[in-house]
Structure 1
Amino acid sequence: MGTTRTDIEDACDWQGKPLDCAVCERRALREEGHCRLGHACAHDRYARRIDRFFRWNPQLAKDYLEHPYFETRAVAAKHVELFFLPRLLGDADETVRQSVAQRLPVNSKHFKSLLRDPHREVRIRVAERLEARELIGLIDDPDYFVRQIVARRLPQGMLVKMMHDIDPEVRKVVAQRVSGEWLPAMANDRETNVRLAAVRRMDPGQLKQLIKDPDWQVRYEVASRLDVAELEPMRADPDPAVHELVAQRFAGQCKENGLPKAS
């Protein structure tokens, strides 16, 4: 797709000033077809145009790591040779550090130093890339979404350490993955969605303890999977949907056994 007149007219730097190729330090590149106003320019305010410039000229990325515009530094970090990245670990802008976190080798000390980055978006990138066995260092992260990622990726045997996380969405993820022996404990969680996640993974023989759960959704799940021989106490469930399901299951058993349906 070519550059339009609108693109050229819209070409401004990060401070909103119109770009002038005649005074650019890279003006020779234009004649060689390695940059284009409004399309591929290291000084443009739009990240996609900056990125296009560095894709065309990756060897120049290292020269822009101290550029005053954070987008220019962040995009340059995506194209620069890896050994230049450590100098950006202390960059003032989290977007730049995110770019660094996306590219540093996960086993490097520099990458692991980002475990305690002050910005959640950087730690999210770290949590997504860090080797699973090393995620233990993030189970107490102050941000709930970072901990959710940890709960999704942490080895199952370590999930017990997150069963009592303060955030219900994190505990829900734990309930969806934790070893079966811990499910009865999670089925007593104060949050309905956590209990549901646990109940859906429990063996039918473990569900009897939940026939009096305070939430009808949990009781409905129990009624749908509990052995019919254990269902009698649920005939009088106060919720219409649960009550109807129990009746249907008893009726189905009677039909299978050739017995008259219960009234």
Structure 2
Amino acid sequence: MSAAPADGTTGAIPAIDWQGQPITRARCAACEHAALRAGGGCEPGHSCMQDAYARRIDRFFRSHRALANDHLDHAYFEVRAIAARHADLFHLPPLMSDPDETVRLQVALRVPQRLLRAMRDDPHREVRIRVAHRIALDDLAAMADDPDYQVRAIAAQRLPVAALPRLLDDGDLQVRLQAARRVEMPALWRLQDDPAPEVRRIAAQRLPAAGLCRLAHDPDWTVRWEVAGRADAPLLTGLLHDVEPEVREQAARRLRLAAAGLEAQHG
């Protein structure tokens, strides 16, 4: 078994600080947390808030949560971000406008709702995505107009059903798909007019069987296949002549099942 390096580092990643300088025993002796190391509370290359490696910083603050408040203004963004995971909530508001989005991401996971509203317009999409996952529904409605499609898609997943119809006109397919899976009548009929077959397939899956006539003539065969899986017998008969063999086979299978069911009832 090989011995650990003389400076106490462990693992394949060298112990260096955020400015690229090695973390040596001499530097540990001058660290503000030198007393912790003397008692086994930290170790360069494993648990150290001076390290550039986020996992080692995290190990340090997990063991010493009470120190997190004192490092929220550290020059290295990873220290601020990880300290923000463990700091007291009332110390977090100044970090809502931190220059680094990694820090703001952590803040968005923890600040209370009354402060989260102020982060809906954060300049970074990943921050707004986290806000959209957490924010109260009453405050989420404004995010349905966010410039980023993923934020709008989260809104489509979480907003009350009554608020979804306007998202059926969204320019992004993923947003429309999320809305299509949840929207109710009468807006459900609008799915038939969507330019994307993926959305029209959802219409074929969700509309009443008696209302599938128009979709039985859809230009996309996968939509017609969905129709064949749900339509009533009169519509299935027409689909027996579809140009696509998969659609014809689906319609024939359904008709056989229907006939077998009738025979069982009257046998």
The two structures share one fold, judged by TM-score above 0.5 = yes
The count of aligned residue pairs is: 254
Which deviates the most, 219-228 or 52-61? 52-61
Please state if 1:161 is matched with 2:166. Answer: yes
Query: 210, 213, 218: which is aligned to 1:208?
Result: 213
C-alpha RMSD over aligned residues: 1.8
- Aligned residue identity for 2:10: D
Q: 2:257 & 2:164 partners in 1: Cα distance? A: 39
The CA deviation string for residues 221-248 of structure 1, in whole angstroms up to 9 with x for no partner, is 1011110123233222111111222233
Please state if 1:7 is matched with 2:43. Answer: no
Query: 49, 59, 80: which is aligned to 1:73?
Result: 80
Which deviates the most, 45-54 or 226-235? 226-235
The CA deviation string for residues 113-172 of structure 1, in whole angstroms up to 9 with x for no partner, is 100000011001101101123210100111111111111111111111211111011101
Q: 1:4 & 1:61 partners in 2: Cα distance? A: 29
CA contact (8 A) 1:11 1:18 kept: yes
Q: 1:124 & 1:228 partners in 2: Cα distance? A: 46
State the TM-score, normalized to the length of structure 1: 0.91
- What residue number does 1:51 align with? 58
Give the Å deviation of 1:99.
0.6
State the secondary structure of the residue aligned to 2:206.
coil
- What residue number does 1:60 align with? 67
> Unpaired segments of 5 or more residues in structure 2?
none
State the secondary structure of the residue aligned to 2:70.
helix
Q: 2:33 & 2:261 partners in 1: Cα distance? A: 83
CA contact (8 A) 1:183 1:199 kept: no
Q: 2:259 & 2:203 partners in 1: Cα distance? A: 30
Q: 2:149 & 2:216 partners in 1: Cα distance? A: 31
- What residue number does 1:186 align with? 191
Distance 1:257 1:24, change over 3 A: closer
Q: 1:59 & 1:193 partners in 2: Cα distance? A: 51
- What residue number does 1:117 align with? 122
> Unpaired segments of 5 or more residues in structure 1?
259-263
- What residue number does 2:249 align with? 244
- Aligned residue identity for 1:233: G
Q: 1:69 & 1:4 partners in 2: Cα distance? A: 27
CA contact (8 A) 1:74 1:99 kept: yes
- Aligned residue identity for 1:61: A
CA contact (8 A) 2:228 2:236 kept: yes
Give the Å deviation of 1:256.
4.4
CA contact (8 A) 2:216 2:235 kept: no
Q: 1:7 & 1:234 partners in 2: Cα distance? A: 68
Q: 1:256 & 1:10 partners in 2: Cα distance? A: 71
- Aligned residue identity for 2:78: E
- Aligned residue identity for 2:142: G
Q: 1:200 & 1:49 partners in 2: Cα distance? A: 50
